[in-house]
Amino acid sequence: PRLAISGTDEHGLKIQQAAAASGTSPPEHCAHVSGLFHDLFSRAAVSFTDFIRTTEPRHCRAVQHFWTALQGRGMLYKAFYEGWYCTPDECFLSQAQVTERPDAQGHPCKVSLESGHQVHWTKEENYMFKLSEFQEPLRKWLQGNRHVISPEPFYQLVLRWLEEDLPDLSVSRERSRLQWGIPVPGDSTQTIYVWVDALVNYLTVAGYPDTHHAWWPAAHHVVGKDILKFHAIYWPALLMAVGLDPPEQIYVHSHWTVRGQKMSKSLGNVVDPVACFTRYTVDGFRYFLLRQGVPERDCDYYEEKVIKLLNSELADALGGLLNRCTAHNINPSGTYPPFSELCFRKDSALTPGEASGRAVAEDYQLVASVAHLPSQVTHYFEHFQIYKALESITACVRQTNGFFQRHAPWKLCRENPAEKQWLDTILHVTLECLRLYGILLQPVIPATADKLLSRLAVLPEERALSDVAFLPRYHGKLCPFEGRQLGPDTGPLFPRLEMPRRRQLETKGP
């Protein structure tokens, strides 16, 4: 069994200030924003076992227990701390991480080098976590687990961070300044630092402090590159400090830019996912993000790019192939036609001398490619390389279209028994390829995959990865789909999308 976790981190100065600016209380503000995320995931067909809100009583109990464990092991001390504090990023920054830039009015102000957000000099008495004691343990953990952080460039980045000084970490804030957070147990003047609070959510959902041992440390985190230090240095060190193992895997992803620019409210170029669901369909937008999203580098979004990709790969290549092999004029019986071993001989040595053998070398390459596809896609999925999985599927879809085009079944005569046998075999092979693509695409485009598999009359209980069993007749085994009536035609598999009007005008000739 697996737990799939999502949720919202709801404490901190940034939230406190945002609630004040919107004229609501922090609890009301958090309930509204958390609801938006919950609704967005539901609309986007993102499923989860648990949606954790860090304002929940179960989480507050877990955080206070975790803090007490740190204190009991002598990992905390109180000291005066001063430095540049970035409220939007909720972290202190060193002098080297800060630069000076003009603000909107042209006045010089200090900002974070990494995020560009404004920073302020802050001095206060806080609890400090003995992070410096974990520099060597963290280095050993990483060097002994080469693939614990992936992709590789982010693993190397964390190792470089560990070559620099690792100062102790301020893990509380004065409650007079920050009321919106979990109080430090036994000290009403201090609030637990939001990042200690937020990171403990992974333990909360695993049942900490009572039943987490059944799950921990089998945790796999998926995080943005901007919060890598919190997850790859602070979090493992905090876990080691209370006697727990670091997570098994940290998958890191980069960001989306818009026409080469970072998304920003001030630039007005933030992409609204709900509008994209309407424009491209939910499946279309999911497919684009997962097909074009390369974790190790920022990727660029613009409308024409999305439309071109979806039209090419989903509407034309995949949808067109389904239409062609299920069309009434080519498959009048509307069934999954029989496969002929005489037409498509197994390991036929590829000699076209025998009149009964119709398959050519490229056809055998197609069968080999598609047969290898499930293990290839599984490997890529497990290694967080979804774009490579989809690249592999797309390559096979292109090969299948080539197979169909090469043998032109529409030119074959059904009245001729030998030609009918070959025509049925072409359709059978094509439908088998489509069945496999539908099964493999379910995690990425669930509604489209369901439509494809339903058209092929593949029952819900026949759609697991273990049910693939590609082209069994080629291996001399029975095919449960052979002779089965195809499902109803419910229209195009994926709708062709129109280019934006401004683009059409630009591309017209004089």
Residues in the chain: 510
Query: Would the pLDDT of 165 be above 80?
Result: yes
Give me 193's structure tokens. Answer: 């630092």
Number of helices followed by number of strands (H, E) in the chain: 18, 17
C-alpha angle with apex 237: 175 to 212, nearest 5 degrees? 85
Of all residues in the chain, the percent with pLDDT exceeding 90 is 80
pLDDT at 114: 80
The mean pLDDT of 388-410, rounded to a whole number, is 97
pLDDT at 347: 63
Query: Would the pLDDT of 407 be above 90?
Result: yes
Task: Compute the distance between CA of residue 62 and CA of residue 64 in angstroms, rounded to an integer.
Answer: 6
Q: Tell me the angle at which helices 446-455 and 417-441 cross, rounded to the nearest 10 degrees.
A: 160
Residue 228 CB-density burial (10 A; 0-12 exposed, 13-18 middle, 19+ buried):
middle
- pLDDT one-digit tens code per residue, 38-62: 999 999 999 999 999 999 999 999 9
pLDDT at 97: 85
- The model scores a pTM over 0.85: yes
The mean pLDDT of 236-251, rounded to a whole number, is 97
Quick one: DSSP state of residue 201? H
The mean pLDDT of 480-504, rounded to a whole number, is 88
C-alpha angle with apex 147: 143 to 153, nearest 5 degrees? 90
The mean pLDDT of 442-471, rounded to a whole number, is 95
Query: Would the pLDDT of 98 be above 80?
Result: yes
Higher confidence at residue 121 or residue 70?
Answer: 70
Domains located in the chain, CATH noted: 5-253 (3.40.50.620), 322-475 (1.10.730.10)
User: Mean pLDDT score of the chain, rounded to an integer?
Assistant: 92
Q: Name the least confident of 92-96, 316-320, 432-436, 471-475.
A: 92-96
86, 115 Cβ separation under 8 angstroms? yes
